[in-house]
A and B are shown apart, each in its own frame.
Chain A
Amino acid sequence: MKFRVLLLISPSLVFFLTWSSISWAQAPREEIENTAQHLATLLNVGRLIVQRNQALINDPRIGNKGFTPEVFEQQVLDEFIRETHIDLKHDSSQLPSLAKELLPVLLESSKEVVADAQLVINQRGIGYKNFVPATFGSQAARKFSNRSYVKIKQTTLNPRNLKNTPDAYEENLLKRLATKPAIDTSITEWIDNGMTLRAVTPIYYSQDCLVCHGDPKGILDISGYPREGAKEGELAGAISIRIPVNKR
């Protein structure tokens, strides 16, 4: 009798343990997609804060600008609340557990970029310092990707930095996005037989971007790159995120 009970229980136990271990290691797809959207939003918010402080950063008359990692963090948190109604610092209960794990890593990476740039930002007598949304975003994404199994990258069809060159998947998607009206959500797709999420969040040119990326096309901007001749609202590039289902 005991043997029969054991025979019945064992397969159920094996099934339960296997299922639970898989679900423990793999976040549900919806949670991963949600996390990708939040990561893109947070990186974009960081870029926005750098853009908002651009005049201060480039002011040659001031030495210590006071644009510290802590000030940057507070502005990012405030803007993130405004855009998502989620308080990352004090109440992130609305976030999926994967996002709770990854967003602080991205925030910390972004703060580190601002910390590393303090020397450049606080130079008095120097105007343009090339600490702009694009350079901030590249470094923040790289720092985050180096310490996570999730990979974030800024990419565009005609990158100034060749490390931001799109792969075939990104290039295809960017070409499609460039011909369509602006969207404010990520495009997500499961690849590798559903084992990897790819999320691409488009970035569009705002008026501030056009100082360097606008007209006249081909004329060098302040950093020495030829202007793209872009118009406000056109596709600038995208934040590309790759999240594998398995964490390792």
Chain B
Amino acid sequence: MLQHCPKEYGSQGIVPFLIALGIFLQGCGLVFDAVEWVHPLARHELSAICSKGQVRVGISVEPFRPFVFPAVYTDEGVRVTGLDVELIREVADALTTYCGGQTPIVPTLHLTRFHDLFLEMIEGKLDMFVSSNGGNIPGARPAGLWYSIPYFHNDGIGAIIQNPEVAERVRAQFRKQAGNPDTLAAIQAGLSGLTVAAQKGTTSSLYAEANLLNVRLLICDSLPASVETKDPHIDVILSKHSILDYVTNHVWPDWHLLTRNDGAPLLLTQENFSVVTVEENRRLQWFLNNLLYRLDETGRLERMRRRWLEEDYAPTRRAATEGLPFEVSKVPDHYDQGQCRFAAGR
């Protein structure tokens, strides 16, 4: 009798068994979901960072001085430095404290092309990225990404020029407005017909594509590429104001900031820079927002701003003393600042 059991079970009992199993497992899933909702069982992103002892941070390989300087060689090996790198150190220190302080949380930097940072973030290759990137510009937030409260306030999109006549064209427009300033109108009229360059994927290119319809728009792989391009001749380069302020003073003295008629900085629009992570990382998001709020209220963010934007310093020396190493395997081979090409469909 017993010898026949498997056969009977196999031919007649297996179907009800599978149905019962399916219902049971479905039920299990629902129960699991309910418990997870009330009290998360799965390891969340912060405990994963603690257990790995490292936080994976993306940073742009294109230099956004003074937020990230080009990598240099030091006595300790290859290092990057800048305001964004100092912020990453603060985040790592705070994570070390959060994780119990027994072992330091090491920031593993992934130097990646700017426009690839978003993809790598969504693909789960990064825990966060920091790259002087603002989330308040329309079109700047790809679906699935979350932007922290600002770590760098009151920046915006600025412009640099070489030919003073370009500045005069814009200033003439402001004069016409006679005390009732309208920057967008002045810029649209003043730059009409000129060749304007912006870096691919950045908020300045989004601004230009949306607002500067009467210019010849060049999209460049990097800011250095736009400065280097001679054919076609570029009249205006758009980028973050604080970056342009630094590079015109320290790197490309032939270029000058476009200013208002009274010499004040001309911002085409305001932008605040945020740390970016994915939408699901709710605990990490709160951790970042709480940390940035504390850094702001203690004056730490302001000190960082002054340190990198106002002090006189040599980036190489700072790289040697406080720079961070990065994963060379995550850097494009033979980093090249690339080229410029006319924007499609214009």
Contacts and interface: CB of A to CB of B under 8 A. Distances in A.
Contacts of A163: 75
A124 B338 CA distance: 9
Contacts of B314: 220, 222-225
Given A63-B336, A64-B334, A120 B73 contact: yes
Most-contacted residue by chain A among B75, B76, B314, B316 (CB, 10 A): B75
A135 to B, nearest CB: 5
Contact of A130 (B74, B224, B334): B74
A135 B317 contact: no
Interface residues of B, number: 26
Interface string B47-71: 0000000000000000100000011
A interface bracket (residues with beta carbon within 8 Å of B): 20 to 34
Contacts of A120: 71-73, 78
A116 B328 contact: yes
A72 interface: no
B337 interface: yes
B334 A63 contact: yes
Contacts of B335: 119, 122-124
B73 A224 contact: no
A41 interface: no
B336 A117 contact: no
B327 to A, nearest CB: 11
B115 interface: no
Interface in A152-176: 161, 163-164
B169 to A, nearest CB: 29
B323 to A, nearest CB: 10
Interface in B197-211: none
B37 interface: no
Contacts of B63: 126
Given A63-B334, A116-B328, A225 B74 contact: no
Interface in A211-233: 220, 222-225
B302 interface: no
B77 interface: yes
A220 B316 CA distance: 12
A123 B71 contact: yes
Contacts of B74: 130, 135
B77 A116 contact: yes
A244 to B, nearest CB: 25
B337 A119 contact: no
B75 to A, nearest CB: 4
Contacts of B316: 128, 130, 222-224
Nearest to B313: A224
Given A128-B316, A220-B314, A161 B75 contact: yes
21 contacts: A116-B78, A119-B331, A120-B71, A120-B73, A124-B337, A125-B224, A126-B63, A128-B316, A129-B70, A129-B73, A130-B319, A132-B73, A135-B74, A136-B73, A139-B76, A139-B77, A161-B320, A163-B75, A164-B75, A224-B318, A225-B317
